[in-house]
Amino acid sequence: MLDYDILLMLPGPTNVSSDVLLSMSKPIINHRSIDFQELYLGIINKLQKILSTKNAVIPLTASGTGGIEAALSSFFEAGEKIAIIRNGVFSERAGKIAERKKLNVAYLDVKLGRGPKINDVKAFLESHTDLSAIYVVYNETSTGVTTRNLPKILELAKKKGLITVVDAISIVGGDYLYVDKWKIDICIGGSQKALAAPPVLSFVSISEEAIEKAKQVKPNTLYLDLTDYLKWYKERCETPATPAIPLFYALNAALEKVLKEGLEPRIKRHELAAKAFYNSIEKAGLDIFPEEEFRSNTVIAVKAPDTINNQEIIKELYTNYRVAIAGGMGQLKHKLFRIGSMGDIRKDFIIRTLTGFFDILNKKGFNIDIKAAIQMVDDVFIV
């Protein structure tokens, strides 16, 4: 018997285990108490391990978008020029936030379904000599694209003296991420994706170089002022505003599970799950959207055949099989299926999702050999 009546196979939020959910039933505590300080410090210490960093990590009662806005509001000010590699909805959203903050944004546009080529980034940085930072989405949730050459991009950026900002919201806990080794000054993560915690919490790791830069900036936000959070963390190990204490309990429990499993085994599990999805989907005769070298291990983006309405398929899968997947976003809204392969992802989740998905497609006139396609999942998980 499966654990979930409704199986969330979305690119977030994802399934949350019963023990993590139950942790939210603990009594509310005073956020100006030793009890909260212990909880807060424990979360930060765990996040440092998962991010492979010694930098301060600030949890926020805000979604991933709030974490992005906090970063762009706290370390940059009107008129500063930053580069954004734009290859999907979430990199575009970061640009919109930056523009509303009156930052001068230089876009390096990349074809949807691809990550940036290193030579293109190098040429771009050489042609823009007045940049103060570069912003990269490590895993573009809207297209299922992972920027696999991220370390090389960051290396180029640091040689130019740039502050490096990385959106790792839909990948942290599901793939390799080394904040210190890769020299990421500001790294943004979220709770409700590969970490398998409830929404809506985000967190931002902040390097000493970014902290020094912040001294020259007047943040244009109060609630999301990360310099204020840093001050409260260092002086009192508390948050400046009231946090969502039940969500903090849940995040702490989810992080404990991540560390108990171990980062390397967890990442390998995500790799296996993604391989099972890709192999089975291709065996069924469907096309994967991203180019192979950029395929994500946490978000599976599949091209929707022109002969069907992807929204109808999504609705029927939810109604008949109690499995939730997503369509595309922006200009790809009706052109993609997006399946989350993250968090507590396991073999039976994949089989339940794909069996229902393929069955519905067959009822729409396709001729998928479901048994052969599902066998590809079994083959991946044979040890």
Query: pLDDT per residue over 287-306, tens digit each?
Result: 999 999 999 999 999 999 99
* pLDDT tens column, 38-52: 999 999 999 999 999
Domain 7-12+262-381 has CATH 3.90.1150.10: yes
Residue 170: per-residue pLDDT: 98
User: Helix, strand or coil for residue 343?
Assistant: coil
DSSP state of 179: T
What is the identity of the amino acid at 52?
S
* Tens digits of residue pLDDT in 149-194: 999 999 999 999 999 999 999 999 999 999 999 999 999 999 999 9
Query: What is the rounded average pLDDT of the residues 322-331?
Result: 97
322: left (phi over 0), alpha (psi -120 to 50) or beta: left
Residue among 112, 109, 85 nearest 294 (CA): 112
Q: How far is CA 45 from the centre of its chain?
A: 20
> What integer pLDDT is reported at residue 3 of this predicted model?
58
Query: What pTM was computed for the model?
Result: 0.97
Kindly provide the residue ranges of all beta strands, DSSP E only, lying in 21-143, ordered along the sequence. 56-60, 81-86, 104-109, 133-137, 139-140
Report pLDDT for 1. 34
Residue 114 near residue 143 (C-beta atoms within 8 A): no
Predicted local distance difference test score (pLDDT) of residue 4 = 73
Mean pLDDT on 306-320 = 97
Beta strands in the chain (DSSP E): 7-8, 56-60, 81-86, 104-109, 133-137, 139-140, 145-146, 163-167, 186-190, 202-206, 299-303, 323-324, 326-327, 336-340
Q: How many CB atoms lie within 10 A of CB 176?
A: 17
Phi, psi of 17 (to 5 degrees): -65, 155
In the three-class reduction of DSSP (H, G, I as helix; E, B as strand; rest coil), residue 57 is classed as strand
Q: How confident is the model at residue 235 (pLDDT cuts 50, 70, 90)?
A: very high
> 265: buried, middle or exposed (CB in 10 Å: 19+, 13-18, 0-12)?
exposed
pLDDT at 382: 82
pLDDT (0 to 100) of residue 2: 41
The domain segmentation of the chain, as residue ranges, is: 7-12+262-381, 18-260
pLDDT > 70? residue 383 = no
DSSP summary character for residue 25? G
- Indicate the class that CATH gives domain 18-260: alpha beta
Judge contact between 73 and 219, C-beta under 8 A: yes
Beta-sheet pairing, 186-190 with 163-167: parallel
Q: Distance between CA 68 and CA 64 in Å, rounded?
A: 6
Of 164, 166, 198, nearest in space to 90 by CA? 166
Mean pLDDT (whole number) for 368-383: 94
Distances (CA, A) of 271 to 194, 230, 245, 254: 12, 35, 33, 20
Start-to-end Cα distance in the chain: 23
Beta-sheet pairing, 326-327 with 336-340: antiparallel
Residue 53 in this model has a pLDDT that exceeds 50? yes
Average pLDDT, the chain: 97
Contacts of 81 (CB under 8 A, 6+ apart): 103, 104, 105, 106, 128, 130, 131, 132
Residue 2 in 3-state DSSP?
A: coil
* Residue 21 token pair: 């959910």
CA dihedral sign of residues 20, 23, 25, 29: negative
